[in-house]
Copies of this chain bind each other. A is one copy, B any other.
């Protein structure tokens, strides 16, 4: 199967790239620049695609960032909140319709290169604060993906029943170096350790019983 893998450079999507490549699929990595402060993640996505010897493509959506305002992830005037990733305050990190936009671009690319599917790193711990992480949203997207071309494009969520802790274990099994994956929503040189996604990352790696190679810099902030 030829699969376009949406790869942000975070631990979930990088592990997904390794996972699909390890079971002999032909994978292509697609990263998206939607104007996020943590652009640094994209370097890691490319690094892993290169390491696996798979094609890497960048979708540059900075030409629409001005239309998707109001998110702490893209707007320099809105601070990324600290806290637990399930807190209501995390709603500040929602980018309007981000997932539909990324999926639609990935589906277009899949049609263009005659791939069979698009895969992304949705998992069991996806959060109730993000409307476009709901299973019913993903199910509806599967339907449009099947109709977008004369040839059906499948939407795959191989990790949808796995927790982030289970993904961390999968990463260890596949030899993914977690030190070269990026989670932090802030644009710093190291992970802040206190934003929602850093808290989630730390928790998952700890619960998996792994040594966390991430450099956190709470003290610097």
Contact = CB atoms under 8 A, between A and B. Distances in A.
Interface size for chain A: under 10, 10 to 19, 20 to 34, or 35 or more residues? Answer: 35 or more
Contact of A104 (B33, B57, B60, B97): B97
Contacts of A66: 57
Interface string A63-106: 11011111000000000000000000000000111101101110
The listed residue with most B CB atoms (<10 A of its CB), out of A100, A105, A147, is A100
Contact of A143 (B57, B59, B69, B140): B140
A22 to B, nearest CB: 25
Given A57-B67, A63-B61, A131 B147 contact: yes
B96 A149 contact: yes
A9 B75 CA distance: 30
Copies of this chain in its oligomeric complex: 2
A105 B61 CA distance: 10
Contacts of A187: none
A216 interface: no
Interface in A84-139: 95-98, 100-101, 103-105, 107-109, 111-112, 131-132, 134, 136-137
Nearest to A95: B108
Contact of A97 (B70, B97, B107, B132): B107
A148 B140 CA distance: 10
A156 interface: no
A136 B140 contact: no
Interface of A: 30, 33, 57, 59-64, 66-70, 95-98, 100-101, 103-105, 107-109, 111-112, 131-132, 134, 136-137, 140-141, 143-144, 147-150
18 contacts: A59-B63, A59-B67, A60-B63, A62-B63, A63-B63, A67-B108, A68-B109, A68-B112, A69-B112, A70-B112, A97-B104, A97-B107, A97-B111, A103-B104, A131-B148, A132-B147, A134-B147, A144-B144
